Copies of this chain bind each other. A is one copy, B any other.
Amino acid sequence: MLLRTLTRLTTSPPLKHRLPSLNLSNHPTTHRVAILTTTVKMSFTTKAKIASFGGTLYKLSHKSSTTGTEMAVSLYLPPQVVNSNAKVPVLIYLSGLTCTPDNCAEKGFFQHALAQRGIAFVLPDTSPRGLNHPGEDESYDFGSAASFYINATQEPWKKGYQMETYLTEELPETLFNDEEFGRYLDGGRVSITGHSMGGHGALTLYLKYPGLYKSVSAFAPIANPSQCPWGEKAFKGYLGEDREEWKKHDATELVRKVKKGTDLKMLVDVGTGDQFYQQKQLLPENFEAAVEEAGAEGLELRYQDAYDHSYFFIASFAEDHVNHAAKYLLA
């Protein structure tokens, strides 16, 4: 490992980004590199390395300057990266309320199809952790594990709760330029998916940043957050009372603005047995109506009979979502 590190250093590119501040006691790898040189860019600490479906799942963390916290993120490298110089495309998965990067890695069953198609998987965390804002850990649907993947404008949340910037700028820049992992990942071929709050995140980031992602899909997304209890609570807390501001972060409002005939390249699954769909927290019908009004195309919205909101639902259709992304990532 030391020899491998030394060998790499001789060929490592000049530093493009400042090294993250190091907690040397917890960062053996980074520590070793830091001692040898400061010209290498190894931004992640590997907490676990797990063999999965012929590839490797890495549980990582890195110091984020956007959130001001140590951010957990998991990365799955499919078997195709082994002994290959060709970079693989990337599918980003945004998790739902209460989740960490672990839940989907353990229960989502994406690795099975990702390994077949040769696509890497990136699982960011659902919020910053440990900022100690008042009320941060008091409810499952606001604060920790409930960022809604937006940039908060309200005190105290605007400090750290800048997940939109983290996900669209800092994380990809750090990951795709990382000295250890970047050489395997093609930052020019990225798609995004997510579940529930993460489905909202995937749909909104895709619509806010045209061209950043090759395609999008979602499982049981909160598709019209301005009009459901979960979204109203989160947007009021993070964005304030102005509902016009909320519309900038609502997939149903965002899709109204796409040009007629736009190919959305979008797959959405919703289970008819999903209690949150039944409770009108998801409102895919509003999103579908807005797509039709806008005259956009390429939305495949499927209602899956009897499926609930759980990872059993996600696992059952993960292969379809990987194949949807592969249509555009491997084109």
Residues of A within 8 A of B (CB): 50-54, 56-57, 106-107, 109, 111-112, 271, 273, 304-308, 310-313, 315-316
Contacts and interface: CB of A to CB of B under 8 A. Distances in A.
Contact of A50 (B50, B112, B310): B310
Given A51-B305, A51-B308, A57-B312, 20 more contacts: A50-B308, A51-B271, A51-B273, A51-B304, A51-B307, A51-B313, A51-B316, A52-B316, A53-B316, A54-B316, A56-B306, A106-B106, A106-B311, A106-B312, A109-B109, A109-B112, A111-B315, A111-B316, A112-B112, A112-B315
A307 B50 CA distance: 7
A93 to B, nearest CB: 16
A57 B52 CA distance: 24
Contact of A51 (B54, B306, B311): B306
Q: Is chain A's interface secondary structure helix, strand, loop, or mixed overall?
A: mixed
A185 to B, nearest CB: 21
- How many chain copies does the complex carry? 2
A50 B271 CA distance: 11
A195 to B, nearest CB: 15
16 contacts: A50-B310, A51-B306, A51-B312, A52-B315, A53-B315, A53-B316, A54-B316, A56-B306, A57-B312, A106-B311, A107-B107, A109-B109, A109-B315, A111-B315, A111-B316, A112-B315
Contacts of A316: 51-54, 111
A167 B305 CA distance: 34
Contacts of A51: 271, 273, 304-308, 312-313, 316
Contacts of A109: 109, 112, 315
Residue of A57, A112, A311 with most chain B CB atoms under a 10 A cut-off = A112
Nearest to A55: B316
A271 B313 CA distance: 29
A304 B106 CA distance: 19
Nearest to A304: B51
Contacts of A271: 51
Contacts of A50: 308, 310, 312
Nearest to A109: B109
A46 B307 CA distance: 17
A313 B111 CA distance: 12
A95 B312 CA distance: 19
Contacts of A57: 312
A107 B57 CA distance: 15
A311 B109 CA distance: 11
A158 to B, nearest CB: 37
A307 B49 CA distance: 10
A102 to B, nearest CB: 11
Contacts of A305: 51
Contacts of A308: 50-51
Contacts of A312: 50-52, 57, 106
Contacts of A306: 51, 56
